[in-house]
């Protein structure tokens, strides 16, 4: 009787080369994440970084999501919406801050930093204001890793959170400007846009990025005359191609900018001081020559602003008048449409967190993903952003050099 030869018996090393072994190796690499979402303490912040649907997806992948009671209330997500999809609802922030990763929208308050412990990771936005220096030093003392989500880049080199929020901010800025041109809100009673027989309102946009694109779309849709400035001719050309029409564009030539500002009804700025080496695009002298009752919307106020007359305000008191010009300078303008903004943010955070888990944890993600690494400004208590170091007089180290030793 002949002996039956199985594949394993015939090729004794086949088993070690089969795909199952590699899959088992990948399975061991993935890791459960414990993610905490505290309730925002900033009264003007209404967004939440993960929707109930995103929580359900992450829980299904084995991760644990801890959410403070009423964290989604301002976005009209109830605690039950989250608990039914696998989230753990806790009563106090102290319980949330025991999590491995703290995920929130606004920067932590100094009192919230006290709840952190060593080796935790904080993912939030980063606002450059009068308290930012102390904020950085306190995080460094806690020896945590801090990530500014607006600086994280994807595989294409783009900024996914910035792109999502900027598109919403651009649209919203035009709607806000329309409100403040109205006499109901103290404006001069001008409709943003134009109708037959009436000269259209003039909207000047500083910056041809995503926010500028969507602001231009909204303003053009209403019938306004739109003028866009940027320091890159390529970006201006790309904007015209995207919009599919010719519109007034210019580089930042001082005399041209001054001439345009004299007749502008609305000026929307989205140029950060980091891009201009710490200088303002529009000086106070230029604001003085603007028409009385015109409106300034500073979308870069969280990064220092691009108007010298800008002052950070909250949603409870968002505007002020200086030199006869109405200023709207709220850092989180997208919080005005919290539900839309939360869904947009969640669409980025959910797959990103899933990837972190699949890679085996946040430190491995930092090591493997250079785009994610760009979001880090503090790594284990060490400042890694040279711009912030120079701005606030804090020594910094290159994150890539730190990773080489990791």
What is the 3 state secondary structure string of the chain? CCCCCCHHHHCCCHHHHCHHHHHHHHHHHCCCCEEEECCCCCCCCCCCCCCHHHHHHHHHCCCEEEEECCCCHHHCCCHHHHHCCCCEEECCHHHHCCCCEEECCCCCCHHHHCCCCCCCEEEECCCCCCCHHHHHHHHHHCCCEEEEHHHCCCCCCCCHHHHHHHHHHHHHHHHHHHHHHCHHHCCCCCCCCCCCCCCCCEEEEECCCHHHHHHHHHHHHHCCEEEEECCCHHHHHHHHHHHCCCCEEECCCHHHHHHHHHHCCEEEECCCCCCCCCCCCECHHHHHCCCCCCEEEECCHHHCCCECCCCCCCCCCCEEEECCEEEECCCCHHHHHHHHHHHHHHHHHHHHHHHHHHHCCHHHHHHHCHHHHCCEEEECCEECCHHHHHHHCCCCCCHHHHHHCC
127 catalytic residue (yes or no): yes
pLDDT of 337 strictly over 70: yes
Q: What is the mean pLDDT of residues 385-402?
A: 90
CATH number of the 26-158+337-404 domain: 3.40.50.720
CB 227 within 8 A of CB 200: no
Q: If you average pLDDT over each of 57-71, 272-286, 299-313, which comes out highest? A: 57-71
pLDDT given at position 12: 42
Q: Residues 391-397: what's their mean pLDDT?
A: 91
Q: What is the arithmetic mean of pLDDT over 383-406?
A: 86
Q: Is 352 left (phi over 0), alpha (psi -120 to 50) or beta?
A: alpha
Domain residue ranges in the chain: 26-158+337-404, 165-331
**Higher pLDDT residue, 146 or 157?**
146
pLDDT of 17 over the 80 cut:
no
Whether 244 shows a pLDDT value over 90: the answer reads no
* Average pLDDT over every residue of 386-400: 90
- Give the pLDDT band of residue 164 (cuts 50, 70, 90): very high
Task: Out of 152-156, 255-259, 270-274, 372-376, pick the least confident.
Answer: 270-274
- How much is the mean pLDDT over the chain? 89
Q: Which of 81-90, 178-187, 301-310 has the highest mean pLDDT?
A: 81-90
Find how far residue 248's CA is from the centre of its chain: 29
> How many alpha carbons fall within 13 Å on the CB side of residue 167?
9
Q: Which two tokens stand for residue 36?
A: 């905490």
Q: Which of 230, 298, 302, 369 is catalytic?
A: 302
Decide if pLDDT at 91 tops 90.
yes
| Sign of the four-CA dihedral 70, 76, 77, 80 | positive
Confidence of residue 67 (pLDDT cuts 50, 70, 90): very high
Query: Where is pLDDT greater, at 129 or 242?
Result: 242
- Mean pLDDT in residue range 114-120: 93
The angle formed by the CA atoms of residues 265, 267 and 271, to the nearest 5 degrees, is 175
Would the pLDDT of 27 be above 60? no
pLDDT value of position 405: 66
Q: Which two tokens stand for residue 267?
A: 């000026």
Q: Which of 63, 127, 298, 369 is catalytic?
A: 127
- pLDDT band of residue 42 (cuts 50, 70, 90) is confident
- CATH topology of 26-158+337-404 equal to that of 165-331? yes
Say whether pLDDT at 16 is over 90.
Answer: no
**What confidence score (pLDDT) does residue 273 get?**
79
Predicted TM-score (pTM) of this structure: 0.82
Instruction: Give me the mean pLDDT over the 139-152 stretch.
Output: 94
pLDDT top residue among 96 and 8: 96
* Architecture of the domain delimited by 165-331: 3-Layer(aba) Sandwich (3.40)
Among the listed ranges 226-230, 338-342, 359-363, which one has the minimum average pLDDT value? 359-363
238 is known as an active-site residue: no
CA atoms of 403 and 406, how far apart (whole Å): 5
Determine the Cα–Cα distance for residues 38 and 43; give it in Å rounded to an integer. Answer: 14
**For residue 314, what are its two tokens?**
């909250």
Neighbours of 175 (CB within 10 A): 14
| β 266-269/295-298 pair status | parallel
- DSSP state string for 373-393: HTTEEEETTEE--HHHHHHHT
Q: Strand runs (DSSP E) across 43-103, as ranges?
A: 64-68, 88-90, 101-103
SS3 62: coil
Whether residue 20 is predicted with pLDDT greater than 70 in this model: the reply is no
Residue 15: pLDDT band with limits 50, 70, 90: very low
């Amino acid at each position: 009787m002949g002996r039956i030869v199985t594949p394993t018996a015939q090729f004794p090393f086949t088993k070690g080369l089969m795909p199952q072994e590699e899959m088992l190796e990948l399975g061991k690499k993935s890791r459960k994440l414990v993610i905490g979402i505290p309730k925002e303490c900033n009264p003007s912040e209404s967004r939440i970084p993960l929707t109930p649907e995103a929580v359900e997806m992450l829980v299904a992948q084995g991760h644990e999501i801890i959410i403070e009671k009423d964290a989604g209330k301002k976005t009209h997500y109830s605690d039950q919406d989250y608990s039914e999809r696998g989230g753990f609802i806790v009563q106090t922030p102290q319980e949330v801050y025991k999590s491995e990763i703290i995920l929130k929208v606004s920067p932590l308050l100094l009192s919230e930093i006290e709840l952190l412990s060593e080796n935790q990771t904080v993912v939030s936005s980063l606002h450059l204001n009068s308290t930012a220096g102390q904020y950085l030093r306190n995080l460094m003392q806690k020896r945590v890793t801090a990530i500014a989500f607006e600086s994280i880049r994807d595989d294409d080199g783009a900024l996914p959170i910035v792109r999502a929020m900027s598109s919403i901010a651009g649209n919203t800025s035009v709607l806000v400007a329309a409100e403040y041109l109205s006499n109901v809100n103290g404006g001069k009673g001008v409709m943003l846009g134009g109708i037959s027989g009436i000269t259209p309102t003039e909207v000047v946009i500083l910056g041809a990025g995503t926010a500028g694109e969507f602001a231009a779309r909204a303003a053009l849709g209403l019938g306004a005359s739109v003028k866009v400035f940027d320091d890159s001719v390529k970006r201006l050309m790309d904007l015209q191609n995207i919009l599919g029409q010719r519109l007034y564009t210019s580089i930042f030539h001082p005399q041209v900018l001054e001439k345009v500002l004299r007749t502008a009804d609305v000026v929307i700025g989205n140029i950060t001081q980091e891009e201009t080496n710490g200088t303002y695009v529009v000086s106070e002298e230029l604001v003085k020559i603007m028409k009385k009752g015109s409106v300034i919307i500073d979308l870069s106020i969280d990064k220092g602003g691009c108007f010298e007359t800008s002052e950070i305000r909250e949603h409870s008191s968002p505007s002020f008048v200086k030199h006869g010009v109405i200023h709207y300078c709220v850092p989180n303008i997208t919080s005005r449409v919290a539900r839309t903004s939360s869904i947009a943010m969640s669409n980025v955070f959910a797959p990103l967190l899933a990837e972190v888990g699949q890679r085996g944890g946040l430190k491995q993600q930092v090591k493997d993903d250079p785009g994610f690494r760009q979001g880090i400004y503090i790594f284990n208590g060490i400042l890694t952003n040279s711009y912030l170091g120079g701005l606030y007089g804090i020594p910094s180290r290159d994150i890539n050099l730190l990773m080489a030793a990791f």
